A = this chain, B = another copy of it.
Amino acid sequence: MSHFQPVALGHASRLVNHGPTVLITSRSADGTRRNVMAAAWSMPVEFTPPRIALVIDKRTYTRELVAESGVFGICIPGVALCDITYAVGSESGREVDKFARHGIEWQPDATLGVPLIEAGCAAWLACRLIPEPHAQDAYDTCFGEVLSASADARVFAQGRWSFRDDNTALQTIHHLGAGNFAHAGRTLQAKAST
């Protein structure tokens, strides 16, 4: 049984506000080919409409598929997917079907058809590419608008993350380099300014 629940679009930026490493999923225009890669470089750029920016190297298969289809998914892996996240960041989808190789469960987004991963992930966002040829060419920076989002209610509900000792497997991971990740297990509350 899936614990995923829709996330209001006004809350979508919160899913990536704290800088998690993500999985970018993509498909060909005709839907017959698909890919998944890891990306540490992404950020929200607007709350409403929810828009994000992310870096996708122009030499990657993902970039080719996103350019072709105009859509992509952002899946936010939890600790449970740490090994697979690292693995799919160092393989090319031109050479191997990474979903099959790693036994990654996915289903197509109902509207955009991009592969979405729920098992092992804390959340996903389904996005439409906003074509920006100069930023894509000069900085490999792709802008996208979030059209729908969903999160596992055990770790994100009512627009808020809740990282606790009982949901470690779903805690977001943040790549430090060379396969070493911080995960969002410890939190603190800032005192309001006086």
Contacts and interface: CB of A to CB of B under 8 A. Distances in A.
Given A45-B41, A183-B186, A17 B175 contact: yes
A59 interface: no
Nearest to A143: B139
Interface stretch (A26-34, A63-71, A79-87, A146-154): A79-87
A62 interface: no
A91 interface: yes
Contact of A53 (B17, B53, B185, B189): B53
Interface size class of A (residues with CB under 8 A): 35 or more
A183 B19 CA distance: 11
Interface of A: 14, 17-21, 40-46, 51, 53-55, 79, 82-83, 85-87, 90-91, 132, 134-135, 139-141, 143, 159-161, 163, 172-193
17 contacts: A17-B40, A18-B181, A40-B43, A42-B43, A43-B55, A45-B139, A53-B139, A53-B141, A134-B134, A159-B177, A160-B180, A161-B182, A163-B182, A174-B184, A180-B190, A181-B189, A182-B184
